[in-house]
Structure 1
Amino acid sequence: MSSAPEPVFFLDRTLDTALVRAALQGRPGPPVLRHAELFEAATPDAEWLPAVTARGGFVLTQERRLHYNPLELQVLRASGAGTFIFVAKGLTGAGLAECVVRALPRLRRFVGRHPRPFVAKVYVDGSVHPLDLG
């Protein structure tokens, strides 16, 4: 019996930090794609979102207002993006890195059960809640 391939996660500019990278290093599963490795810092979301989705990546971000921006929402839908927004209020540094690692098993399950496009919020306890893209 073959299982589905592991999802590939992409750290956008807001989560591509040294502490998050260090926390993810050496963990089982596929490598995590990083914004800084693939795009210039000033690359607009409307350009990198479709490129990441075309590579099969699921976006991890802290950009809480992403799904409220009409252009970005249109790009999310059109590109078929799967996006997880970490809303772990007050967490920075090592606490945020731990939150990302804690959430990974739930994110893996979520992508196996929810077709793209989607936007879901990820909370400090690692719980994942889908949003209505309207």
Structure 2
Amino acid sequence: MSSAPEPVFFLDRTLDTALVRAALQSQPGPVLRHAELFDPATPDAEWLPAVTTRGGFVLTQERRLHYNPLELKALQASGAGTFIFVAKGLTGAGLAECVLRALPRLRRFVQRHPRPFVAKVYVDGSVQLVQGT
């Protein structure tokens, strides 16, 4: 078993739901929440570096991030490690199950890939690097 510390995962506004939070409570490692740390209107350019400074890896459903060159540039500049859940149509319990299914792969991924990076997470929990350092 690896002695690496548990990664800190950050739920952005799109994934900070009661069901996702409840599912993560049974898992090891800290979870940060956008609603606990930032005003809802806080721009990405402000909260992304703050999360990275705290050692957090962003979990989001903002699919547009990896298509928008300006958003990708902001992610890279912040030094963030970002996982975009692209499980279309999943909400509620299905989304919470998807996050739980992906956690072991997310933990391995952060040990193998230096930040900044952007990766997609699929409904089966698989992870694919979109853009890395």
Please give the TM-score of this superposition, normalised by the length of structure 1.
Answer: 0.93
Residues matched between the structures, number: 133
How big is each residue's C-alpha offset from its partner over 1:18-62, in whole Å with a ceiling of 9 and x where there is no partner?
1111111122x1121000000001111111111100110000000
- For 1:112 and 1:2, the matched residues in 2 are separated by 10
3-state SS of 2:10 partner: strand
Q: What 5-or-longer segments of structure 2 have no aligned partner?
A: none
- For 1:41 and 1:34, the matched residues in 2 are separated by 11
Partner of 2:74: 75
Q: What 5-or-longer segments of structure 1 have no aligned partner?
A: none
Letter paired with 1:13 = R
Partner of 2:107: 108
Say if 2:18 is the partner of 1:23. no
Which ranges of 4 or more aligned residues in structure 1 deviate by more than 3 Å?
Answer: none
- For 1:126 and 1:2, the matched residues in 2 are separated by 21
* 8 A Cα contact 2:83 2:119, kept in partner: yes
Percent identity reads 86
Partner of 1:61: 60
Where in structure 2 are the equivalents of 1:3-42 lying within 5 Å? 3-27=3-27, 29-42=28-41
- For 1:74 and 1:115, the matched residues in 2 are separated by 16
- For 2:127 and 2:18, the matched residues in 1 are separated by 24
Letter paired with 1:34 = R
- For 1:129 and 1:2, the matched residues in 2 are separated by 22
- For 1:48 and 1:103, the matched residues in 2 are separated by 24
